[in-house]
Amino acid sequence: MCTSLTLETKNGQHLLGRTMDFAIEFNQSINIIPRNYGWTNIIDKQERKTKYAFIGMSVIIDGHPILADGLNEKGLMCATLYLPGFAEYSKIEVKDKENITSYDFVLWALSQFENLDEVKIALKDLEIIDKPLSLLNLTPPLHWILSDKSGKSIVVERTATGLHVFDNPVGVMTNSPDFQWHLTNLRQYIAVRSKQFDPITWGDLDLSAFSQGSGTFGLPGDFTPSSRFVRATYLKNNLTHIDNEIEGINGIFHILSNCQIPKGAVVTSEGSEDITIYTSAMCSESGTYYYNTYDNCQISAIKLFNEELDSIHIKSYPIRNEQTIFREN
């Protein structure tokens, strides 16, 4: 369970944010992968070299970065989210195509493409192979949201009918069902609005709202993917005062706070608790990665361009999980 959205500020900066909702953590950290870093494709065992440097939340396994989200030096941003029951990958390698695992998609995209147009072209020659991830002992059922300095967004899904690329007119994505279903479902909520409803009269009885917020009556408040999609889309569409990067980052964190899951609110069929492990946001233009965690609400920021991008080593920043409180006295 995760929620993601894009945002454009009035001064032309482009952001992508997401929550990471899961029942377990993987000792993840924020890592900067430099240019020309060698990584091995798990499917064909061939070494690849990163063309661009990038930063993101990831786990490093034997020098191989597994990324949940991130952005590269050209401003391409990508996040991976769960798509259980709908994601389906090829059981065999496909000749004359580049074959990768689902959990290498973010690495594949950020390491070699500048923008969405380049990604779209490359996707025509890509296949995603069913290969279990050792951390989970299963093949994670994923789909992806990408954005760049244009402010546009796409969603990539691999289902039983093949690999699909959708232009994302609302810049929001959650989990199952598939992306097209979520867009259709928005039609049920066209009456939801930010403006208060005016008083009316039924017979001889004058009726008025109890207090402010009557226009949002019917906005779903549960944690299902469909409800989080509607809620995030509504809040993004009505967000004001996002003149610059910091105001945009604040806006994203406020929107996503409406989708964050506290401990005990969602219990899986296996008895574990899904929680929002972290929330992150990134800026295409500044190359800055922002995040906070369940246990530390303070937003931390790491700027890609403050590091040596031609280094031969991955640079890691451990997660700041201890709550930061400003004590006035």
Instruction: Give me the helices (H) in 83-132, please.
Output: 105-110, 116-123
Q: How many CA atoms lie within 13 A of 28 on its CB side?
A: 23
**pLDDT value at residue 274:** 95
Q: Residue 124 contacts by C-beta under 8 Å, 6 or more apart in sequence?
A: none
* Per annotation, catalytic residue among 2, 78, 259, 283: 2
**pLDDT value at residue 137:** 84
Q: Give yes or no: 283 in active site.
A: no
What is the pTM assigned to this prediction? 0.95
**pLDDT value at residue 30:** 98
Q: What Å distances lie between residue 282 and 56, 112, 220, 279, CA to CA? A: 9, 18, 27, 11
pLDDT along the chain (329 residues), means of 10: 95 98 91 97 95 97 94 98 97 95 98 98 97 89 98 97 97 97 98 94 95 94 97 97 97 98 93 95 98 97 98 96 94
Domains and CATH numbers, the chain: 4-318 (3.60.60.10)
Q: What is the rounded (10 degree) CA torsion for 132, 135, 136, 139?
A: -20
